[in-house]
A = this chain, B = another copy of it.
């Protein structure tokens, strides 16, 4: 799947992931009105609204980008009907040829992570049948529980040719509270202090060595590093040379094209940049207001084209 992602990036010339994080305040009125008229102001109505909204965006952008990243929380808040919309979105995107990164940030003790890995990337046995729960191509994973919580994902990745992105340095303002803490380590007999994100980055690199596809340069184990922390991105790029970096925080969270160059390797690969709100709610920005709510999908397309240009020109200038 990492090779499919790379092929998609090469084909589209867009190392871009569109974050499908459908908050109701982004969904245009005409879509909400229809869904609520059909199903009421209920969880079912909300699920229908976000599915229809997603479908419009996916249809508008699926030839421009290699991948999408639905954030499961935005669906899970609407209970079962919301998660049914998540599943429908995953299936539809895969039909359209997109790589689907489930932004689930799961992670637990061994047997429990096994269940998450099976449900999101693999399959579960029911009697004599193998059944698929959600079936994304990649999942994001939280490293707080250590290797126990990550290794069950690695096993499924090897079996299914799928992948994970481990949280290393997240894009949010408070990510440093824990992730930047300096830890006592030993190097050549001397005490050295290093931030936690570097140590997690080294683990990502080590897990990746156990988890390489038969052909290709990048492992099934990637990392999440926020666009809002370009300096840390530069360091982590070196620590994890064969890991793809999933970079959230572009656009609405403050990251810009020029900040992103450090996340890429010399081969022009090694990073995919996520934008959510900046694309899916582009029509709510002044710049794209001319599209209006009815034209929200076209606005999303225009925003992807602009983002592609921003990243390409930043990479050319470096």
Contact = CB atoms under 8 A, between A and B. Distances in A.
A116 interface: yes
Contacts of A107: 105, 142
A300 B115 CA distance: 23
A109 interface: yes
A184 interface: yes
B73 A116 contact: yes
A145 interface: yes
B193 A178 contact: no
Interface stretch (A122-130, A209-217, A265-273, A282-290): A122-130
A15 interface: no
Interface string A142-179: 11111111000000000000000001001111111111
Contact of A131 (B42, B106, B108, B142): B42
B133 A147 contact: no
A82 interface: yes
B119 A36 contact: no
A196 interface: yes
Given A73-B108, A73-B115, A143 B178 contact: yes
A23 to B, nearest CB: 8
Contact of A177 (B106, B113, B147): B147
A172 B193 contact: no
Given A73-B108, A77-B124, 16 more contacts: A21-B112, A36-B127, A41-B128, A43-B126, A71-B108, A79-B87, A82-B119, A83-B83, A105-B107, A142-B142, A144-B144, A144-B170, A145-B170, A147-B174, A148-B173, A182-B184
